[in-house]
Amino acid sequence: MAVLKTLRAAVVASSGFLLAVVFVLPLSAPCHAQKRGSAASKSASQPSVLPRVLQPTSTKLLSVPRFSYSGVPLSDDSGNLYFRPAADNDQLAIFKLSPQDEGNSKMFEVPSGTAEADYFDDYCVTPSGTLYILAQDVKRKFHVLSFDSDGQVKHNERLETPDYALVIDFAVFENGTILATGYYERDAPGPIHGKSYAALFDQSGQLLRDMTRRFSLEDASSEPNGPLTHISIRPGKDGNLYLLGSSSVLVVSPGGEVVQGLKFVKPDPESVAIDLEVSQGLLLIELGDKPAPGKRVNPRYLVLDASSGKRYGYYRASDEIKGMLGHFSSKEGLTFVTSEKGYVKLVTAAMN
């Protein structure tokens, strides 16, 4: 009898679990995300949607000589572009290119010998154009540097990260709060070895909140030379940060709350999410083919309404447009950085 009672309890408890899931899920995520989620499961068997081909609507040949740079260019809301120029040493410098007035272009340089800024790690720009550089010192501690309007280092704050934490990506809210994400080093002690790390810091580098449990990053590879997974973090003009996942975008407030979770359906289910841009009500998700030797990325651009997650458009650049996506504007469209006759050329393609 006791066994029967236990069995019945287990069956009913399981039903309770299922009911709870059904009722709790819609409360924990936006409605459109659920709809998108169900659509995603259907899309696996659906044929790929072809992207609309973007044609150049304007081009601008600048007087800036073409140059080599690391990583991807960033931009602010005014259309200024930020590059990390390639250097033959560990010079920490970011070049701000102002296409509207090239005379306003400038170099933000960290003078060599600056205390505790020994290695370059990453940089970010807020929508209003404030630049931050993430640097590392010889003791493997991380520092965030900011600049005044003349390009001089204004602040150099050490992040209160735990031992063995390796910051890979960071972004700064307009209010100065810093979000840092990464991993515990591969030579960290057992339990934390290779685990992900995320935290919020105030402007002085003091820890505000450990965010590791708010969202989990893919664990780092345990291989000594294995890949480390980056995530694309971009600031929005609404004061929030947008974090790109493989099929979702998380919106995080300066207080560290996940205020929105937008799921998106990739028109080509085989593609992977590469990068993210945010512009006044629209999100641009750069999709590409899965990396494989002999294959090119073939970038496509999925544009979503930032509040509803509804698809706005799906594009690819025409063969005529070559170069890196440098800026995305909901008004002007996509601006690519390329070169012609030894000079930098910007090619803009409107979405409509």
Element (H, E) at 70: strand 69-75
Residues 189, 298, 310, 340: which binds another protein (CB under 8 A)?
Answer: 298
Residues in 32-91 at the binding interface with another protein, rule: CB under 8 A: 63-72, 83, 85-91
Applying the rule CB under 8 A, the residues between 242 and 281 that interact with another protein are: 243-246, 248, 250, 258, 261, 272-275
- In the range 84-143, which residues lie near another protein by CB under 8 A? 85-91, 93, 95, 102-103, 105-107, 118-122, 136, 138, 140
Give the total of residues touching another protein (CB under 8 A): 101
Please state the separation of Cα 49 from the chain's center in Å.
Answer: 25
Distances from the Cα of 133 to the Cα of 40, 118, 155, angstroms: 37, 12, 10
Is residue 31 within the footprint of another protein (CB under 8 A)? no
The amino acid sitting at 334 is: L
Determine the 3-state secondary structure of 172 from DSSP.
strand
| Contact with another protein (CB under 8 A) among 45, 47, 113, 187 | 187
Smallest gap from Cβ 217 to another protein, in A, equals: 6
**Position 222 contacts another protein (CB under 8 A):** no
Query: For the stretch 242-255, what's the b/e string if a residue is b when 16 or more beta carbons lie within 10 angstroms of its beta carbon?
Result: bbbbebbbbbbebe
CB 33 within 8 A of CB 309: yes
User: In the complex with another protein, which residue's Cβ is closer, 246 or 318?
Assistant: 246
CB of 255 to another protein, least distance (A): 15
Is 13 near another protein (CB under 8 A)?
Answer: yes
CB atoms within 10 A of CB 237: 14
User: Residue 120: which of 170, 81, 181 has the closest Cα?
Assistant: 170
Assess 328 for contact with another protein (CB under 8 A).
no
CB of 46 to another protein, least distance (A): 21
